[in-house]
Amino acid sequence: MSAVVTPSGAAAGQAGRGFPLPILALALAAFAIGTTEFVIMGLLPAMAQDLAVSLPRAGLLVTGYALGVALGAPPLAALSATWPRKRALLVLIALFIAGNVLSAVGEGYALVMLGRVVAALAHGCFFGIGAVVASELVAPDRKAGAIALMFTGLTLANVLGVPLGNLIGQQWGWRSSFAAVAGLGVVAAIALMALLPKTLPSGEAQSGNDWSVLKRPQVLIALALTAIGFGGVFTAFTFIAPMLEQVTGLSTGAVTAVLFLFGLGLTIGNTLGGRLADWRLMPSLMGILAVLALVQLVLAAVLGWQWPAIATVFVWGMAAFATVPGLQMRMMQQAPDAPALVSTLNIAAFNLGNAGGAWLGGWMLDHGAALRALPIAGAALAVVGLGLAAVSVGVERKAR
């Protein structure tokens, strides 16, 4: 698997058909970032108790991270627009490490929140630039697959990183989980230094960093589709630990096992979504959003039965992340003249949706909603996303 980059941006090895080694370095960094993003779900009850805050307020640590991604991505995209992409990725992973160290050692809720936000600042821009780099290293008809491979690190974080992080937290306290993630970030930084080619191009030219792309209706629709269509997942997922413990009746250890299954579903769904997006982007994306809505309704219905609930959580993970490669490719299609900028903005939209979903779930609980109502709200948002996808296709047809 060659790391040599041709002028066209495709990898030279394997007749342009393989996935080059640098994408695996990006996937490793994505694994570290994904672990810190998602590990907190299983740690929320312990963190709420230790920090002396309510469960909904502890849930704001999820919202704070997501808002940090959403708000940090645009200025960091502008700041790093003309940097060599390898340097930009290394600076961002260093920022991520610093934030996790602060979460591990900071005393009190405010410092833990600050650490979460600092780590989050790197997230959006890293995935935005990384997705462009991954897509430039392969043949044109494998771009969504390359993006999916990078995001596999994010999904494997749920299979391996989150359960291990929860296990570490149960054995040595939740702060040790963030310390372990910081160490993982160091390993990822070393891999990026060693494997990313020095010949990576710089960021966009001045015309490619033109924020006027936000005046394009299809760009705005794509951003809304990402934020709403995927964000509803976090309405329920933020509170998956209390849902499974209080409604399904699972032990803390069993919840860790279910999180493993959810992460396995994410990994399978991400790979499948990449292949479907390379095949037929919008039809497959609309179908996946419909399935996502249905699965979340089923989850609400079966949450009181252990085995049906566990099986549905697995399928939920598949449906949730099957949307990701398609949503990212859809955005990059709408502004081929500014791929890194719109890719980063789309990662911000993902996390703005995550923040909104987590806030909505906490708001519902604060106002007396039952835990099993959260997946229903997530299903409703997936339906709205499906409607936005239909509008986007309609606008595209009229423009032809």
Domains delineated in the chain = 18-399 (1.20.1250.20)
Contacts of 298 (CB under 8 A, 6+ apart): 312
Apex CA 77: angle with CA 71 and CA 79, to 5°? 105
Query: pLDDT tens across 114-170, in order?
Result: 999 999 988 888 988 888 888 877 777 788 888 888 988 887 887 788 778 888 998
For 222-270, write each residue's pLDDT tens digit: 999 999 999 999 999 989 989 999 999 999 889 878 988 888 898 899 8
Give residue 337's pLDDT: 78
Look at residue 20 and tell me whether its pLDDT is greater than 80: no
| 8 or 341, greater pLDDT | 341
Spell out the residues 6+ positions from residue 47 whose beta carbon is closer than 8 angstroms to its own.
40, 58, 61, 112, 174
Q: What is the pLDDT of residue 202?
A: 54
Phi/psi at 137 (nearest 5 deg)?
A: -90, 0
Token couple for 147: 């993006």
Interval 350-390: pLDDT, tens: 878 888 898 899 999 999 999 999 999 999 999 999 999 99
pLDDT band at 206 (very low <50, low <70, confident <90, very high): very low
> Does residue 4 register a pLDDT over 80?
no
Nearest Cα residue to 70 out of 81, 58, 62 = 62
**pTM of the full structure:** 0.76
Neighbouring residues of 15: CB distance < 8 A, sequence distance ≥ 6: none
Q: Cα–Cα distances in Å, from 111 out to 21, 73, 103, 179, 180?
A: 37, 21, 7, 15, 18
